[in-house]
């Protein structure tokens, strides 16, 4: 049938002609092409590409329908195919970023809004019980107290700097909720990082250690997704993560205060901390404000302790120096995991998704907090 | 039969439904979204529950995105998703009718 | 004898079409589990069609239900057959029928399932689709292979590839059409023509319908509901034909009553084939009026 719409899958690397058509469609829809998309679904009528959507792991990107054909049935077919394709690739829980105007369209496709930066971007997921289900389980871990604190840390690896931050926080709230970033894109695996944190804080009272989730400092909440109006979106890219924290996680646990370390080295984390002050505290939100407490890093001699410094020393096998920066359990993990002959240049930099986002802003490096 | 993996069946198109299923320790959790939820929500859930019970599924999380499907389509999609998610498919056609 | 002018193809995985297609009122409705269903959805389509066949609307409308199953040699065919025979399908359409043996094998399995599920043995009818040179050459033995066969159908897409040609003005199908038609007439079963795939080309469609009607086909497989009315109208007799047929049938009844051995109308003898043709014309007129 000549006018039948058929879905196809496109590998943008091995099918450059199809990728060119996708780029043209995206441009016509005022969207930019994302090189991180691993695979696309396109709808074609005859030979013409009339709709597309891509998958970057479990994040739906570059979803577009030819402007003169904005029929709902096309988006339903497109998103059905994306759901099945993602499922085949092992991703059942999907996220997407879109313009707020498109929220209703994606709602019809089984996506639910999590948070929105008004006028800029909305963050959605493909389940009605995703963030709400997560918060329901968090609620069972609520603790009494007037001041409830929270820290989200990557701990790549866990150092005396992290320990200092946790000690300070515990001393300055009634109960502390400590989250370990779950995303497995760091040098140390999530499992190792979690074990290091757990060992490093086991003696501290009034503290709950939580596994991380996709709802905080994850590829999903920290997506490098940009619209063509790059500046507005780039300014908002930390906002989604912080709004999820303020609107869902903090109310679930009654968190009133978030603790962070200062960032002398890293512009990204520094920006994240600055943005935290804005999004967690801005008064025009229906959710209670959260106090942000930024404390200076402790230094070992002159230089503040940082995880990236530890990784550099590890590459050079300088275990004696590492021992002055990290607790004994972390040191044991480092010795255990270290593979001789691995040079610093071979060590992947931590969270690459943040780095990707950054390179678009022309910033230079990322250091772990 | 036991649900041992996540699975997906159906479509988002009109008169159909998309259903996902995931393992759960105990109990059936059915989360239903429908354009006709006020009118037919209870009936859709009852059909879903009965279909799962007939297959002997007593523990699973089921998320249904209904687009106004007929009862027989709801049964068909739930049976399909169970077939895809179960450790072994032992249902006879007479059980599905 | 049942009218089978239009046989509407529905992709078996499409819930919306399965739920609503009865409104188009084709003579037969064919749920497809084969080529219209992707590998991913084979299981889903089978279960969906299993339920659709049991919908009261299909059971009670008098619309004939047909299911095109996957070949029995594929990983899906046998399970398709189990599902549709148990669900009470009227006709199983076997794709890619190359020899009478294919029909024998299908018949044996159908009978086994009928016995297993308590369905009346013989109540499941069959249709064989001929899609290759082998099928066309063996058309007669295929058409004679089972009492359950209600018809044979030409499927052009695979056939033209097997013949190392492609669809064109219809000349590429002349031999196959005539061979299938003769085999069907010889076996006294129905003959169905292939689909016309360009749903936007009404003129081309009607030209092809005119051809296959003149050749003698009972009907045609369709892929778009819009084609049903066009087809029924093209198959509808003219007022003159209806008028003449009425008089033929009246004369026949009259002759029977009087116990006449030879029946005549306006001084001309009318024999059994003429009377039978007149009855077909009246049935077509009763189904969709006279041609507009």
Reply yes or no on whether the pLDDT at A36 is more than 60: yes
Q: Are C91 and C55 in contact (CB under 8 A)?
A: no
DSSP, collapsed to helix, strand or coil, labels residue C9 as strand
Reply yes or no on whether the pLDDT at A231 is more than 70: no
The domain that contains A317 carries what CATH number? 3.40.50.620
Reply yes or no on whether the pLDDT at A354 is more than 70: no
Measure C199 CA to nearest chain B CA, in Å: 22
- Please state the rounded mean pLDDT for residues A190-203: 95
Q: Are B61 and B31 in contact (CB under 8 A)?
A: yes
Domain count, chain B: 1
Measure A357 CA to nearest chain B CA, in Å: 31
Residue B1 lies in a domain: no
8 Å CB contact of C47 and B69 = no
Structural domain including A172 reads: 133-361
Q: Are C95 and C155 in contact (CB under 8 A)?
A: yes
User: b/e map of A185-210 (b: 16 or more CB within 10 Å)?
Assistant: bbbbebebbbbbbebbbeebeebebb
Please provide the average confidence, as pLDDT, over all residues in chain B: 94
Among A91, A113, A141, identify where a domain stops: A91
Give the strand pairing for A291-295 and A257-261.
Answer: parallel
Nearest CA-CA partner of C235 in C5, C28, C7, C1: C5
Distance of alpha carbon A174 from alpha carbon A143, whole angstroms: 9
- Sorting pLDDT into bands at 50, 70 and 90, what band is A234? low
Residues A82, A155, single domain; the answer is no
- Please state the rounded mean pLDDT for residues A152-171: 95
| pLDDT tens readout for residues C170-184 | 899 999 999 999 999
| pLDDT tens readout for residues C148-157 | 999 999 999 9
Which of A70-79, A152-161, C128-137 is modeled with the greatest confidence? C128-137
Q: List the single residue in B with minimal CA-CA distance to C84.
A: B93
**Measured between CB atoms, does A84 come within 8 Å of chain C?**
yes
Q: Where are the extended beta strands (E) located within A204-261?
A: 207-211, 257-261
8 Å CB contact of A77 and B11 = yes
8 Å CB contact of B15 and C16 = yes
| H helices present in chain B, as ranges | 37-54, 71-85, 93-96
Nearest CA-CA partner of C13 in A299, B76, A189, B68: B76
Please provide the average confidence, as pLDDT, over all residues in chain C: 93
Measure B24 CA to nearest chain C CA, in Å: 23
* CATH 3.20.20.60 in chain C, residue ranges: 6-234
Residues A78, A191, single domain; the answer is no
Q: Copy the structure tokens of residue A24.
A: 């043209």
Cα end-to-end span (Å), chain B: 17
Confidence (pLDDT) at A365 = 33
Site from C31, C39, C51, C87 to mutate, B interface, most B CB atoms within 10 angstroms = C51
Which residues, at least 6 apart from A157, have a Cβ–Cβ distance to it below 8 Å? A188, A192, A193, A196, A307, A310, A311, A326, A330, A333, A334
The domain that contains B86 carries what CATH number? 3.30.230
Residue A345 lies in a domain: yes
CATH of domain C6-234: 3.20.20.60
Residues A187, A272, single domain; the answer is yes
- Sorting pLDDT into bands at 50, 70 and 90, what band is A197? very high
Structural domain including B72 reads: 7-96
Reply yes or no on whether the pLDDT at C90 is more than 90: yes
How many other C-beta atoms are found inside a 10 Å radius of the C-beta of residue A18? 19
Reply yes or no on whether the pLDDT at A298 is more than 90: no
- Please state the rounded mean pLDDT for residues A269-282: 89
- Please state the rounded mean pLDDT for residues C121-147: 98
Q: Copy the structure tokens of residue C271.
A: 């024999």
Q: Considering only A55-64, A150-159, A212-221, C261-270, which range has the smallest mean pLDDT?
A: C261-270
Peptide bond into C81 cis (omega under 30): no
| pLDDT tens readout for residues A251-265 | 999 999 999 998 777
Residue A105 lies in a domain: no
- Sorting pLDDT into bands at 50, 70 and 90, what band is A222? confident
- Sorting pLDDT into bands at 50, 70 and 90, what band is B94? confident
- Please state the rounded mean pLDDT for residues B69-78: 96
Confidence (pLDDT) at A111 = 96
Reply yes or no on whether the pLDDT at C91 is more than 80: yes
Confidence (pLDDT) at A343 = 47
Residues A252, A311, single domain; the answer is yes
Residues A195, A329, single domain; the answer is yes
- Please state the rounded mean pLDDT for residues C205-226: 94
Please provide the average confidence, as pLDDT, over all residues in chain A: 86
- Sorting pLDDT into bands at 50, 70 and 90, what band is C139? very high
Length of chain A: 369
Confidence (pLDDT) at A32 = 86
Q: Considering only A65-74, A356-365, C7-16, which range has the smallest mean pLDDT?
A: A356-365
Q: Copy the structure tokens of residue C31.
A: 């749920």
Residue A354 lies in a domain: yes
| pLDDT tens readout for residues C35-69 | 999 999 999 999 999 999 999 888 777 789 999 99
**Measured between CB atoms, does C72 come within 8 Å of chain A?**
no
**Measured between CB atoms, does B16 come within 8 Å of chain C?**
yes
8 Å CB contact of A2 and C224 = no
Confidence (pLDDT) at A345 = 43
Eight-class DSSP state of A102: G
DSSP per-residue letters across C95-139:
SS--SHHHHHHHHHHHHHHHHHHTPPTT-SEEEEEE-SHHHHHTH
Confidence (pLDDT) at A359 = 37
- Sorting pLDDT into bands at 50, 70 and 90, what band is A358? very low
Residue B83 lies in a domain: yes
Residue B38 lies in a domain: yes
**Measured between CB atoms, does A87 come within 8 Å of chain C?**
no
Q: Copy the structure tokens of residue A46.
A: 């005859």
Q: Considering only A92-101, A335-344, A360-369, which range has the smallest mean pLDDT?
A: A360-369
Residues A307, A164, single domain; the answer is yes
Measure A133 CA to nearest chain B CA, in Å: 11
| H helices present in chain A, as ranges | 16-28, 72-88, 103-107, 130-139, 160-171, 190-201, 230-236, 239-244, 250-253, 267-279, 307-315, 319-322, 328-337, 352-361
Confidence (pLDDT) at A301 = 77
In chain C, what percentage of residues exceed pLDDT 70? 100
Q: Are A233 and A240 in contact (CB under 8 A)?
A: no
8 Å CB contact of A1 and C223 = yes
Chain A: touching chains (3 or more CB pairs < 8 Å): B, C
**Measured between CB atoms, does A73 come within 8 Å of chain C?**
no
Confidence (pLDDT) at A226 = 38
Q: Considering only A25-34, A56-65, A223-232, A318-327, which range has the smallest mean pLDDT?
A: A223-232
DSSP, collapsed to helix, strand or coil, labels residue A6 as strand
Reply yes or no on whether the pLDDT at A71 is more than 90: no
Reply yes or no on whether the pLDDT at A368 is more than 50: no
Distance of alpha carbon C81 from alpha carbon C83, whole angstroms: 5
Which of B11, B20, B22 minimises the CB distance to A80? Answer: B11
8 Å CB contact of A127 and B7 = no
8 Å CB contact of C44 and B97 = no
| Residues of B whose CB is below 8 A from C16 | 13-16
DSSP, collapsed to helix, strand or coil, labels residue A352 as helix
Residues A341, A195, single domain; the answer is yes
Q: Is the pLDDT higher at A12 or at A4?
A: A12
Q: Which of residues 197-216 of C touch A (CB under 8 A)?
A: 197-200
Reply yes or no on whether the pLDDT at C1 is more than 80: no
* Residue with tokens 């008004």, as numbered in its chain: A118
Reply yes or no on whether the pLDDT at A176 is more than 60: yes
**Measured between CB atoms, does A343 come within 8 Å of chain C?**
no
Confidence (pLDDT) at A352 = 43
3-state helix, strand, coil in chain A (%, to 5): 40, 20, 40
- Please state the rounded mean pLDDT for residues B7-14: 96
Give the strand pairing for A207-211 and A257-261.
Answer: unpaired
8 Å CB contact of A87 and B31 = no
**Measured between CB atoms, does A89 come within 8 Å of chain C?**
no
| H helices present in chain C, as ranges | 15-20, 42-53, 56-60, 77-86, 100-117, 133-137, 139-143, 156-162, 174-187, 202-215, 226-235, 239-258, 272-288
Reply yes or no on whether the pLDDT at A299 is more than 90: no
Residues A216, A328, single domain; the answer is yes
The domain that contains A40 carries what CATH number? 3.40.630.30
Nearest CA-CA partner of C95 in C87, C86, C85, C106: C106
Largest CA distance in chain B: 36
Q: Which of residues 36-95 of B touch C (CB under 8 A)?
A: 69-70, 72-73, 75-77, 79-80, 83-84, 93-94
Reply yes or no on whether the pLDDT at A317 is more than 70: yes
Confidence (pLDDT) at A73 = 85
- Sorting pLDDT into bands at 50, 70 and 90, what band is C87? very high
Residue A102 lies in a domain: no
- Please state the rounded mean pLDDT for residues B85-97: 89
Measure C167 CA to nearest chain A CA, in Å: 14
């Amino acid at each position: 049938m000549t006018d039948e719409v058929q879905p196809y899958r496109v590998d943008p690397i091995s099918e450059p002609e199809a990728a060119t058509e996708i780029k043209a469609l995206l441009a016509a829809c005022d969207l930019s092409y994302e090189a991180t998309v691993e695979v696309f679904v396109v709808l074609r009528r005859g030979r013409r590409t009339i709709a597309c959507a891509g998958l970057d792991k479990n994040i739906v990107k570059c979803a577009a329908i030819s402007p003169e054909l904005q029929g709902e049935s096309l988006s339903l077919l497109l998103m059905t195919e994306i759901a099945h394709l993602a499922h085949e690739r092992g991703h059942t829980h999907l996220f997407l970023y879109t313009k707020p105007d498109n929220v209703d369209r994606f709602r019809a496709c089984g996506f639910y809004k999590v948070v929105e930066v008004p006028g800029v971007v909305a963050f959605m997921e493909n389940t009605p019980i995703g963030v709400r289900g997560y918060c329901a389980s968090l609620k069972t871990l609520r603790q009494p107290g007037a001041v409830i604190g929270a820290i989200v840390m990557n701990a790549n690896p866990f150092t005396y700097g992290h320990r200092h931050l946790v000690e300070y926080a515990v001393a300055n709230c009634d109960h502390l909720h400590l989250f370990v970033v779950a995303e497995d894109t760091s040098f140390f695996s999530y499992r190792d990082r979690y074990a290091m944190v757990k060992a490093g804080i086991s003696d501290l009272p009034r503290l709950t250690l939580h596994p991380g989730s996709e709802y905080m400092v994850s590829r999903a909440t920290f997506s490098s997704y940009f619209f063509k109006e790059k500046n507005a979106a780039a300014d908002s890219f930390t906002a989604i993560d912080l709004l999820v924290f303020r609107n869902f996680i903090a109310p679930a646990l009654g968190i009133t205060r978030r603790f962070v370390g200062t960032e002398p080295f890293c512009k990204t984390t520094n920006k994240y901390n600055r943005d935290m002050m804005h999004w967690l505290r801005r008064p025009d939100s229906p959710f209670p404000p959260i106090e942000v407490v930024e404390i200076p890093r402790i230094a070992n001699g002159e230089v503040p302790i940082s995880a990236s410094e530890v990784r550099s020393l590890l590459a050079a096998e300088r275990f004696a120096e590492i021992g002055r920066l990290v607790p004994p359990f972390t040191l044991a993990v480092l010795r255990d995991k270290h593979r001789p002959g691995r040079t610093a240049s071979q060590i992947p930099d931590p969270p690459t998704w943040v780095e990707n986002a950054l390179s678009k802003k022309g910033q230079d490096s990322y250091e772990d907090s | 039969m036991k649900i041992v993996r996540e699975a997906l069946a159906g479509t988002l198109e009109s008169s159909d439904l998309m259903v996902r299923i995931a393992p759960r320790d105990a109990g059936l959790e059915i989360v239903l979204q429908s354009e006709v939820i006020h009118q037919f929500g209870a009936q859709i859930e009852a059909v879903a529950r009965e279909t799962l019970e007939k297959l002997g599924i007593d523990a699973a999380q089921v998320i249904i995105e209904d687009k106004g499907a007929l009862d027989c389509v709801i049964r068909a999609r739930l049976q399909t998703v169970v077939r895809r998610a179960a450790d072994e498919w032992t249902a006879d056609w007479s059980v599905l009718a | 004898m049942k009218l089978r002018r239009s046989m509407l193809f529905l992709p078996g995985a499409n819930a919306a079409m399965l739920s609503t297609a009865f409104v188009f009122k084709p003579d037969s409705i064919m749920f497809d589990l084969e080529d219209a269903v992707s590998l991913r959805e084979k299981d889903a389509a089978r279960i969906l069609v299993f339920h659709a066949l049991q919908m009261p609307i299909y059971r009670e409308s008098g619309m004939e239900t047909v299911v095109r199953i996957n070949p029995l040699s594929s990983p899906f065919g046998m399970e398709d057959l189990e599902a549709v025979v148990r669900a009470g399908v009227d006709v199983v359409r076997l794709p890619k029928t190359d020899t009478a043996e294919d029909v024998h094998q299908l018949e044996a399995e159908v009978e086994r399932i009928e016995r297993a599920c308590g369905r009346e043995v013989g109540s499941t009818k069959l249709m064989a689709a001929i899609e290759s040179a082998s099928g066309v050459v063996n058309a007669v033995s295929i058409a004679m292979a089972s009492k359950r066969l209600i018809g044979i159908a030409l499927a052009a897409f695979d056939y033209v590839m097997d013949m190392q040609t492609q669809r064109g003005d219809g000349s590429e199908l002349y031999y196959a059409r005539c061979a299938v038609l003769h085999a069907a007439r010889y076996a006294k079963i129905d003959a169905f023509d292939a689909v016309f795939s360009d749903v936007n080309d009404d003129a081309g469609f009607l030209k092809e319908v005119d051809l296959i009607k003149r050749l003698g086909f009972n009907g045609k497989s369709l892929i778009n509901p819009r084609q049903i009315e066009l087809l029924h109208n093209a198959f509808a007799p003219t007022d003159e034909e209806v008028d003449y047929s009425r008089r033929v049938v009246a004369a026949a009844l009259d002759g029977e009553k009087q116990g006449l051995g030879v029946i005549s109308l306006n001084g001309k003898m009318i024999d059994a084939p003429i009377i039978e043709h007149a009855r077909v014309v009246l049935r077509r007129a009763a189904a969709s009026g006279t041609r507009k």
